[in-house]
Chain A
Amino acid sequence: MSFLKFILKNPFRRKTSAILAIVGIAIGIIVIVALGGITDGLVNTFEDTIHAGGADFQISGKETGDSAYGTNTIDASWTDKIANVTGVEEAYPIYVVLTSVGDDYMNTLIGIDPEGANLADISMKDGRMFKDGENEAILGEIYADDNGYEVGDNIKIDGEDFEIVGIYESGDSNMAGGVFTSISKVGELQDDTDSISNIYVKVEKGVDAQEVADRIDAKYGDDIATITSVMEMEQMATMLDMLQASTWAISLLAIVVGGLGIINTMLMSVFERTREIGVLKAVGWSNKKILTMIVGESLVITIVSAIVGSLIGFLGCTLLGPQMGIEPLFTAKIFIQAFTIAIVVGIIGGLYPAIKAVKLPPTEALRYE
């Protein structure tokens, strides 16, 4: 039998010890993988939540100041410029005009690309989104209630007939009292397709919105202004920092708990082989050869345990997590971390008692009970 084959076979000859060692180490790995998945899932859910709302901030013309729905316009070409700024995921223009809507001589009509309507922080209560370029509109629920409109009715906007295809909700009362249609239709009504009022900007996931806003200000601040809710963004950033710090603490705890379990298992399994190490020394094995064997066996047992622990941790969290309202997120990083810890800690846990054992005179190792 070759030495390599001997090392590969050896850990599994003592079936009970091997099972106990694998269980002991796998528990450590399960803790690391499961807590890693849960905490990463938490951070991801939080980021999704703060990211899921409307735009992170808006762009307006310099002269419109803080008035998000000012009727001053900027050139439509700004949309592409803003979309190309690093960290920007989406940029959609809106065109806000005051025009005759239904029986009102003057009301707010907001034009937006239907694809970007989610950035306006509205959600459909009834019906569907309007189509681009069609004479279709959606009404804010306040406006619809006040004026007795329902989905399927027609409404006159700037003298043209529009079909009401949906009713939307919004936390913003101004929004809920308004009317949306496609931006191309508003441009057509205004006979001006080169102007827009504002740009809704959504930043990439995980990117600090304030940083992107500052970047835009630094680059184009002479011509346009960014409108951000500073308080909200700072609060979100603080909460995200706290959540990430908590997940680090939990991960560290998982590593310590899992690592100690692995070390303990390896210590026990090698200490109980002290007598065997004495026999190997008596028949002429060098200390180096014995340590190579122990490290090799530790590697075999920890890798098997890491596979078992990762599978159980992954499957357990994936199957049970959703039932407990947890959406775990498993990235390669978690498994790399678990395997690295298992191997490093497993080798250290195996090497330490092995070094102690090989340093013993063979006569003492042979007497070990």
Chain B
Amino acid sequence: MNAVEIKDLYKSYENGRIKALNGINLTIKDGEFVSIIGPSGSGKSTLLNMLGALDVPDSGSISVAGEDLKSSKNLNEFRGEKIGFIFQLHNLIPNISVRENVEIPMFTQGMSSKEMKNRALKLLDDVGLKDKADILPNKLSGGERQRVAIARALANDPSIILADEPTGSLDSKTSSKILKQLIDLHEDKNVTLIIVTHDMDVAKLADRVVEVLDGEIISAGDDSLINSKIDV
């Protein structure tokens, strides 16, 4: 089964002046690890936002984890159940504890307080931060914050993890640690992992590298014909 099916996806901003996505076609299988690369402004983050239902396309079709995102009325619910986000700047809520940050997505799942606490502590234990559960995120290093973001992304056991430059603001040693955790997660739980990066060393770790330029996929990392206009 495919985790992602995108056909002729278009997205523009500022009344069509900026064409962020310009006819994207992409298929990603369940459990696949795909990296999306491209220079700044190429549309890779917009593509990731579409995959995570954080933004809506102008035209085309997009189905993620079996959900037609163009017609779905429950995008919040979909995100809560199926998607785990990891942002470049982690986007932790600064004034609540590390554990509470991990519990935040669980509020949508009807879990008891005790279940939420136990699950959050287990996830923090998995990323090696159980002992820092009760402190505020600003007391953590950049790498530790990103590990908390990984724990939060896994809160509701999603089938797809979307990571936008997850190591973009980290030093190389910390980056390696974070990437290892993501890859372990992908392998252990068979989670579909989609990483946006402009770092080729990171991209090469994936099963497949999708290359985006000017809102178009110029290489899908497989034999499929991605875009008839490409001239690679």
Query: B-contacting residues of A (Cβ < 8 Å)?
Result: 1-3, 5-6, 10, 13-14, 275-276, 278-287, 289, 361-363, 366
Residues of the A chain whose Cβ atoms lie less than 8 Å from the Cβ of B33 = none
Stretch at the interface among B89-97, B203-211, B218-226: B89-97
Question: What are 29 of the A-B contact pairs (CB < 8 Å)?
Answer: A1-B100, A1-B113, A1-B116, A6-B107, A13-B96, A14-B95, A276-B93, A278-B91, A279-B91, A279-B92, A279-B104, A281-B54, A281-B76, A281-B79, A282-B91, A283-B108, A283-B152, A284-B77, A284-B80, A284-B83, A284-B108, A284-B156, A285-B108, A286-B77, A289-B107, A289-B108, A361-B56, A363-B54, A363-B55
Which of B52, B91, B107, B108 counts the most A-chain CB atoms under 10 A from its CB?
B107
What 0/1 readout, one digit per residue, does chain B (91-135) give for beta carbons within 8 Å of chain A? 111011000100111011000010011000000000000000000
User: Are B52 and A3 in contact, CB atoms less than 8 angstroms apart?
Assistant: no
Task: Please give me the residue from chain B that is nearest to A364 by CB atom.
Answer: B55
B161, chain A: closest CB distance, angstroms:
13
User: Are B76 and A284 in contact, CB atoms less than 8 angstroms apart?
Assistant: yes
Residues of the B chain whose Cβ atoms lie less than 8 Å from the Cβ of A6 = 100, 107
User: Are A279 and B93 in contact, CB atoms less than 8 angstroms apart?
Assistant: yes
Q: Kindly state the separation between the CA atoms of A285 and B107 in the bound complex, as whole angstroms.
A: 8
Residues of the A chain whose Cβ atoms lie less than 8 Å from the Cβ of B67 = none
Q: Kindly state the separation between the CA atoms of A323 and B149 in the bound complex, as whole angstroms.
A: 60
Main SS at interface, chain B: helix
Q: Kindly state the separation between the CA atoms of A289 and B79 in the bound complex, as whole angstroms.
A: 14
Main SS at interface, chain A: helix
User: Are A283 and B155 in contact, CB atoms less than 8 angstroms apart?
Assistant: yes
Residues of the A chain whose Cβ atoms lie less than 8 Å from the Cβ of B85 = 282-283
B49, chain A: closest CB distance, angstroms:
5
A361 partner, pick from B54, B76, B77, B93, beta carbons under 8 A? B54
Q: Kindly state the separation between the CA atoms of A284 and B109 in the bound complex, as whole angstroms.
A: 10
What 0/1 readout, one digit per residue, does chain B (67-80) give for beta carbons within 8 Å of chain A? 00000000011111
B6, chain A: closest CB distance, angstroms:
17
Task: Please give me the residue from chain B that is nearest to A18 by CB atom.
Answer: B95
Which of B52, B83, B96 counts the most A-chain CB atoms under 10 A from its CB?
B96
Q: Kindly state the separation between the CA atoms of A283 and B149 in the bound complex, as whole angstroms.
A: 11
Residues of the A chain whose Cβ atoms lie less than 8 Å from the Cβ of B105 = 283-284
Q: A6-B107, A276-B93 given as contacts; is B52 within 8 A of A282 (CB)?
A: yes
Residues of the A chain whose Cβ atoms lie less than 8 Å from the Cβ of B10 = none
User: Are B54 and A282 in contact, CB atoms less than 8 angstroms apart?
Assistant: yes
Residues of the B chain whose Cβ atoms lie less than 8 Å from the Cβ of A363 = 49, 54-55
Q: Kindly state the separation between the CA atoms of A234 and B100 in the bound complex, as whole angstroms.
A: 68
What 0/1 readout, one digit per residue, does chain B (149-186) give for beta carbons within 8 Å of chain A? 00010011000000000000000000000000000000
Which of B54, B85, B152 counts the most A-chain CB atoms under 10 A from its CB?
B54
